[in-house]
Structure 1
Amino acid sequence: IDKIRVSNPAPAVPQPAVPAHPRIPEVFHPVPEIIQPLPEAFHPVPEVVHPAPRQPPVNMSRVFYGIMFDAGSTGTRIHIYKFIQKDPIELPVLDHEMYHAVKPGLSAYKDNPEEGGNTVRQLLKIAKKTVPEEDWPRTPVVLKATAGLRLLPEDKAHTLLKEVQEVFEESPFFVPDNSVSIMNGTNEGVLAWVTVNFLTGHLYSKTRRTVGILDLGGGSTQITFLPKSKKTIQSAPHTYIANFNLFNHTYQLYTHSYLGNGLYAARLATLGALGADDLDWKVFTSSCLPKKFREDVTFGGTTYQVSGIPDGYAGYKLCYYEVMKVIKGIVHQPYEVKGSSTFYAFSYYFDRAVESGLIDGSRGGEIEVRDFKNRAKEVCNKMAKYRAISPFLCMDMTYITCLLKEGFGFKDSTVLRLAKKVNNVETSWALGATFDYFRNLNIH
């Protein structure tokens, strides 16, 4: 990233909040070669009097940390970021990320909030080991919950968040106002876009050649990109367009989060189980599952009985038809998604591509939408072979195929870049949310 920032410095923006160094009067007589070193306290200005390069002197560099919790529907993750602020105006340089995750997600503790709080307490122990003790009082700790808590009844979600707030208050870190909240879907998409474009260097360049993001969580799924065409913005529902400011520049993004269309929620919706009642005696069946498969599935703290169709048919075509019901008429197709934009796809897109053998888990890789389709057919028509990996692999791969093609409207030949990490940092909204905390991107 550092290389990118140096070759493409962002425009300098005057910022009154930063104490300006005293102006150096122009010196006409030659400056003596050697300047007697003074104690550091007496150096309000850089030592060099001839015009200094744009890069600030080293003693301005400031190291600071941020702790961001991602409370998702299938797990709670902690991201501990170490930043170096080399320039008061530009984005800081990310020096390091420490990442750890626990399962299940907070929503699984809807009837036992204390236990949910304990999972956060465990993760804070890692933060104490990672952040130097002298930095604890000024290191903000923030938790943002996503679809798992959005799908819960409001009172249960509120109780869980209150529990987390108490765990934060007893920690040695800085607890800002509104440090525990449910994030809205728009921010989830925008901040994931900020993360990926920061890590790929696109936020520093003036070319405006950014990449789009596709995020598939357990409870919701997000699509976000910077439209090249006015028609995309004009033809989209107005709530799908978000603006935010960075470097005195306003970005106008197409973004939407589909609640209930994350992978685990979509499984239940395909089965007709999401939101159903009388769960004790109902068994939810699908031709996307192996015929002899039967087990209890828990999502968001609720358990459902699920099975294949023992005397029926199974396979890709029937499964596609079932999955279609969850997507058709629900997912908006943006005007220019059929174009040549690059999209990064992560979370469950990545995980399922690895499990089905489409990509190597350590490296990620580029695939076309049709690769998901072809592999989904193979998995569904050889369910016995893939059952050991996951009895839901046929349903998941078919759902991903259907979401990309019938949902968003991608062509078979659209290339997706599948990545779990970029430059060794997790691709998730958490880094963007940390920037938002430190810089207020003013998303609306």
Structure 2
Amino acid sequence: MKIPKLAILFILVVGTVAYLTYIRRPQILKETISKPQYPHSRTDPTNLSTDRFQYGIMIDAGSTGTRIHIFQFLLEENATHKLARETFRAIKPGLSAYVDDPEKCTDGIQELLEVAQESVPSSQWNITPLVLKATAGLRLLPGEKAQQLLDKVREVFDESPFLSRHDSVSIMEGTEEGISAWITINFLTGGLQGGDGATVGMLDLGGGSTQITFSPQDEKSIQTSPIDYITSFQMFNRTHTLYSHSYLGLGLMSARLAVLGGVEGQPLEGSTELVSPCLAPDSTEHWEHAEVDYTVKGQKAGEPIYESCYSKVEKALYKKVQKAEEAEDAHFYAFSYYYDRAVDIGAIAEKDGGTIKVNDYIEAAKKVCNSIAETPPTHPFLCLDLTYISVLLQELGFPKDKELKLAKKINNVETSWALGATFHYMELHSRD
């Protein structure tokens, strides 16, 4: 019997649809998940089954810019998460630039929220937490002025389609920043998911503060540490006990000012001229810090530069740092200015990262400081910065042969505190 052409066409269409729906589609989904998209991906998340994903939005309001991180997590049967994708966007300047006109900060926040709306399926908007945490830029502002900026952000959040709570907008404490960065690193390296409890420590050297965070293994070191340095929290059905502390005023820029003899936020006895043995002899440099313009001069030639600079750094750090027990035994990642100065001395490639020993900073400091009289460095403060880093690490309890890992990304994901803070926030509100 001859089959009509229309019937044949109908059978072909039905067969193709069935193949794509029941055979080919699961394979496409599997391939998409097994090759997760990372920062700057523009893949449309609505192409995937949304009930298998959870989203979190974290806005990092820093001193120089505001950055949005939109995380897409793949939900696993054992209640753990896998990072499927991160969408990232940054704008300048930071919120603190609008201190005298808070209303103007809302345009930038709206711009970032538009990115979030493009990245998160509309069906998930009302259950996706939206959080902004401000760091150094707002910490340095007078309380009332910082609050005005935060209030404006809250107004924008309240009108957005995302989930905004009473604690969605805040200034981040330094210790919280350290813990969040620790969570990020250990999630990306697998330390949080592993059953053996093996984790890595975190060192961060920012402009205004520096943090150290790690998981001590000896109960004695937990008991003998200052009580406010020890914290515990639950994540992924495990309790983590951490040694974590943030040293405000010991970030590289604030410490540089202290070593030079200045006072944070105010000219020295009405003058902005400073003299330091850490600069090339008879040199003059101009440096702006915390909206104060300084003129910094090197001392007269003939003084032993490294020894004199080292003495100034030791004085600036005297009795300000607690030596961390077990720090020399734990594996550590180091970030921010630790990374940047390692690049400056050629210890690592800027894009690749690598490893460095504390002694590498020490030897580089001696070499740079002792040569600046004849060959001024491209970076006029390199002698000071390297000397400070080398002394700081030793004061924190790291021996000269201690090796540190330096990385800006792990598995193609930025090693910022944003991912850890998002996890922590979602964990706190998981029972809401």
Answer yes or no: same fold by TM over 0.5: yes
Deviation at 1:348, TM superposition (A): 1.7
1:28 corresponds to: none
Q: Distance in 2 between matches of 1:278 and 1:315?
A: 25
Q: Which shows bigger deviation, 408-417 or 267-276?
A: 267-276
Identity score, percent: 49
Tell me if the contact between 1:270 and 1:323 (Cα under 8 Å) persists in the aligned partners: yes
1:236 aligns with 2:188: no
Tell me if the contact between 2:262 and 2:274 (Cα under 8 Å) persists in the aligned partners: yes
Deviation at 1:134, TM superposition (A): 4.8
1:322 corresponds to: 312
Deviation at 1:355, TM superposition (A): 2.4
Deviation at 1:103, TM superposition (A): 4.9
CA offsets per residue over residues 22-79 of structure 1, 9 Å max, x none?
xxxxxxxxxxxxxxx9xx9xxxxxxxxxxxxxxxxx9796223222122234443322
2:403 corresponds to: 415
2:286 corresponds to: 295
Letter matched to residue 292 of structure 1: S
1:251 aligns with 2:240: yes
1:394 corresponds to: 383
Q: CA 1:148–1:289 in 2, change beyond 3 Å: closer, same or farther? A: farther
Tell me if the contact between 1:61 and 1:84 (Cα under 8 Å) persists in the aligned partners: no
Q: Distance in 1 between matches of 2:55 and 2:86?
A: 10
Deviation at 1:177, TM superposition (A): 2.3
Q: CA 1:303–1:355 in 2, change beyond 3 Å: closer, same or farther? A: same
Indicate the SS of the match to 1:221. strand
Q: CA 1:249–1:111 in 2, change beyond 3 Å: closer, same or farther? A: same
Tell me if the contact between 1:192 and 1:213 (Cα under 8 Å) persists in the aligned partners: yes
2:166 corresponds to: 177
1:425 corresponds to: 413
Deviation at 1:175, TM superposition (A): 2.3
Q: CA 1:348–1:194 in 2, change beyond 3 Å: closer, same or farther? A: same
Q: Which shows bigger deviation, 428-437 or 99-108?
A: 99-108
Tell me if the contact between 1:191 and 1:431 (Cα under 8 Å) persists in the aligned partners: yes
The Cα RMSD (Å) is: 2.7
Q: CA 1:246–1:307 in 2, change beyond 3 Å: closer, same or farther? A: same
Q: CA 1:328–1:269 in 2, change beyond 3 Å: closer, same or farther? A: same
Q: Distance in 1 between matches of 2:217 and 2:429?
A: 21
Tell me if the contact between 1:61 and 1:86 (Cα under 8 Å) persists in the aligned partners: no
CA offsets per residue over residues 277-313 of structure 1, 9 Å max, x none?
45664312322233423214032xx213131225355
Q: CA 1:287–1:429 in 2, change beyond 3 Å: closer, same or farther? A: same
Q: CA 1:207–1:190 in 2, change beyond 3 Å: closer, same or farther? A: same
Tell me if the contact between 1:358 and 1:375 (Cα under 8 Å) persists in the aligned partners: no
Letter matched to residue 53 of structure 2: V
1:81 corresponds to: 71
Letter matched to residue 147 of structure 1: A
1:167 to 150, 156, 174: 156
Q: Distance in 1 between matches of 2:131 and 2:335?
A: 23
Letter matched to residue 418 of structure 1: L
Indicate the SS of the match to 1:335. coil
Q: CA 1:105–1:357 in 2, change beyond 3 Å: closer, same or farther? A: farther
Q: Distance in 1 between matches of 2:64 and 2:370?
A: 28
Deviation at 1:179, TM superposition (A): 1.1
Q: Which shows bigger deviation, 414-423 or 348-357?
A: 348-357
Deviation at 1:225, TM superposition (A): 0.6
Tell me if the contact between 2:193 and 2:236 (Cα under 8 Å) persists in the aligned partners: no
Q: Which shows bigger deviation, 317-326 or 114-123?
A: 114-123
TM value normalised by structure 1: 0.78
Tell me if the contact between 2:54 and 2:128 (Cα under 8 Å) persists in the aligned partners: yes
Q: Distance in 1 between matches of 2:57 and 2:375?
A: 42
Q: CA 1:127–1:329 in 2, change beyond 3 Å: closer, same or farther? A: same
Q: Distance in 2 between matches of 1:314 and 1:103?
A: 42
Q: Which shows bigger deviation, 254-263 or 353-362?
A: 353-362
Deviation at 1:323, TM superposition (A): 1.9
Q: Distance in 2 between matches of 1:377 and 1:75?
A: 34
Q: Which shows bigger deviation, 164-173 or 152-161?
A: 164-173
Tell me if the contact between 2:276 and 2:299 (Cα under 8 Å) persists in the aligned partners: no
1:217 aligns with 2:184: no
Indicate the SS of the match to 2:327. helix
Q: Distance in 2 between matches of 1:376 and 1:306?
A: 23
Tell me if the contact between 2:275 and 2:299 (Cα under 8 Å) persists in the aligned partners: no
1:261 corresponds to: 250
Indicate the SS of the match to 1:308. strand
Tell me if the contact between 1:148 and 1:219 (Cα under 8 Å) persists in the aligned partners: no
Indicate the SS of the match to 1:203. coil
Deviation at 1:344, TM superposition (A): 0.6
1:91 corresponds to: 80
Indicate the SS of the match to 1:411. coil
Q: Which shows bigger deviation, 90-99 or 145-154?
A: 145-154
Indicate the SS of the match to 1:361. coil
Indicate the SS of the match to 2:278. coil
Tell me if the contact between 1:289 and 1:314 (Cα under 8 Å) persists in the aligned partners: no
Letter matched to residue 424 of structure 1: N
Tell me if the contact between 2:309 and 2:384 (Cα under 8 Å) persists in the aligned partners: yes
Q: CA 1:156–1:268 in 2, change beyond 3 Å: closer, same or farther? A: farther
Q: CA 1:434–1:331 in 2, change beyond 3 Å: closer, same or farther? A: same
Q: CA 1:365–1:163 in 2, change beyond 3 Å: closer, same or farther? A: same
Structure 2, unpaired ranges of 5+: 1-17, 22-47
2:55 corresponds to: 65
1:333 corresponds to: 323
1:437 aligns with 2:425: yes
TM value normalised by structure 2: 0.80
2:140 to 144, 151, 166: 151
Letter matched to residue 134 of structure 2: A
Tell me if the contact between 1:117 and 1:160 (Cα under 8 Å) persists in the aligned partners: no
Tell me if the contact between 1:342 and 1:416 (Cα under 8 Å) persists in the aligned partners: yes
CA offsets per residue over residues 373-397 of structure 1, 9 Å max, x none?
1122223233475643x32222222
Tell me if the contact between 1:231 and 1:335 (Cα under 8 Å) persists in the aligned partners: no
Letter matched to residue 76 of structure 2: K
